[in-house]
């Protein structure tokens, strides 16, 4: 069963600032998270219960709520700006 994807306002804002070519790649990876929320290459972050997936120089930081089959994308952006 596929998870539902929810983008937080900060993620929508960060994604809107990425150039369109990279936006398409990031959105494709976010869509794939609905099928496999913990893909090969996903890294658990120590500072909170979140995961990170890399898309080139960009990072998608998200949480997974298994009880409701929900993937919440917290932010997405260039790796230099993502963790601020």
In the chain, the number of structural domains is 1
- Taking Cα atoms as reference points, which of 81, 1, 19 lies closest to residue 61? 81
Q: What pTM value is reported for the model?
A: 0.80
Query: How sure is the predictor about 24, in pLDDT bands with cuts at 50, 70 and 90?
Result: very high
In this predicted model, what pLDDT tens digit does every residue of 40-84 receive, in sequence order? 999 998 876 888 898 888 888 888 887 665 677 766 667 666 555
> Does residue 24 lie in a domain region?
yes
Domain assignment present for residue 83? The answer is no
CATH code of the domain in which 42 resides = 3.30.2310.20
Neighbours of 23 (CB within 10 A): 15
């Amino acid at each position: 069963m596929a998870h539902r994807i929810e983008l937080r306002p900060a993620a929508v804002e960060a994604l809107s600032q990425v150039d369109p070519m990279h936006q398409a790649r990031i959105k494709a990876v976010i869509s794939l998270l609905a099928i496999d929320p913990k893909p090969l290459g996903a890294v658990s972050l120590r500072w909170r219960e979140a995961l990170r997936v890399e898309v080139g120089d960009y990072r998608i930081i998200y949480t997974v709520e298994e009880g409701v089959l929900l993937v919440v994308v917290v932010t997405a952006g260039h790796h230099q700006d993502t963790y601020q």
